[in-house]
């Protein structure tokens, strides 16, 4: 049996920090004089802070100097950090600890693969950091999803071949990145939006341990 590795995105998969990103971006949009909707927010999932701001300014049809751009990025991050500073274990999404605990019991290596530059402090806040053998986040990568860089680095750090990695993602760009890396992709969230994933689940409450065993033991076929 080939050694398996499991890689998890952070926002919308392990914790619902997507709502805090939205509130911080919405505050900036309000300052700039236009409305940011939840539909707009779908475009922000799984991409870098810089790319998010580019999308935001495009939505508002707003031009900026580099100095303004950098200032707005910093301002958004300060607002976001104020939100996540209040986070605790209650922010962890349903059944995520059950899945992590089961993989840990089986000695399966686990990595985080996230665009967030705040991944480590968030995992510390929600008391899940100890589950992860590797943390690959926005501080470690130069290319944003759907480029597979973040997942390929995670696989390398876990010492697992990419084709033996299983990725959990809630964003279109993340599913594309996992597929581009040649990994098994599991969409968490809206099945229609994440239709390119190899498997889809509304959330982790729908994933049973037999399914995980199948992935670990190569019994599942796509």
Q: Check which CATH number belongs to the domain holding 132 and give it.
A: 3.40.50.1000
**One of 11, 58, 203, 213 is an active-site residue; which one?**
11
**One of 9, 85, 208, 213 is an active-site residue; which one?**
9
Q: Tell me which residue range forms the domain holding 22.
A: 18-84
**Which residues are within 8 A (CB) of 124 and not within 5 positions of it... i.e. 6 or more apart?**
none
Helix (H, G, I), strand (E, B) or coil at 103: helix
pLDDT confidence of 1, banded at 50, 70, 90? low
Residue with tokens 């509304």: 202
**Span 103-148, pLDDT tens digits:** 999 999 999 999 888 899 999 999 999 999 999 998 999 998 999 9
221 within a domain of the structure (yes/no):
no
Helix (H) and strand (E) counts for the chain?
9, 6
Q: Check which CATH number belongs to the domain holding 48 and give it.
A: 1.10.150.240
Lowest-confidence range among 14-23, 71-80, 89-98, 157-166? 14-23
9 is catalytic: yes
């Amino acid at each position: 049996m080939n050694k398996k590795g499991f890689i998890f995105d952070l926002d919308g998969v392990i914790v619902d920090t997507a709502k805090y990103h939205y509130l911080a971006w919405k505050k900036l949009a309000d300052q700039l004089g236009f409305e940011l909707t939840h539909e707009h927010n779908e475009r922000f999932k799984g991409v870098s802070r810089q790319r998010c701001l580019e999308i935001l300014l495009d939505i508002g049809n707003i031009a900026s100097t580099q100095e303004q751009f950098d200032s707005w990025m910093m301002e958004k991050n300060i607002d976001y950090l104020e939100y996540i500073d209040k986070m605790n274990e209650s922010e962890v999404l349903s059944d995520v600890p059950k899945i992590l605990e089961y993989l840990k019991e089986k000695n399966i290596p686990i990595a985080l693969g996230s665009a967030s530059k705040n991944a480590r402090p968030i995992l510390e806040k929600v008391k899940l950091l100890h589950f992860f053998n590797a943390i690959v986040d926005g501080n470690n990568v130069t290319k944003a999803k759907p480029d597979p860089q973040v997942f390929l680095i995670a696989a390398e750090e876990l010492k697992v071949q990419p084709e033996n990695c299983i990725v959990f993602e809630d964003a279109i760009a993340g599913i594309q990145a996992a597929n581009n890396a040649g990994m098994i992709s599991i969409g968490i969230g809206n099945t229609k939006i994440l239709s390119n994933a190899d498997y889809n689940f509304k959330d982790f409450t729908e994933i049973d341990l037999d399914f995980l065993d199948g992935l670990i033991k190569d019994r599942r076929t796509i």
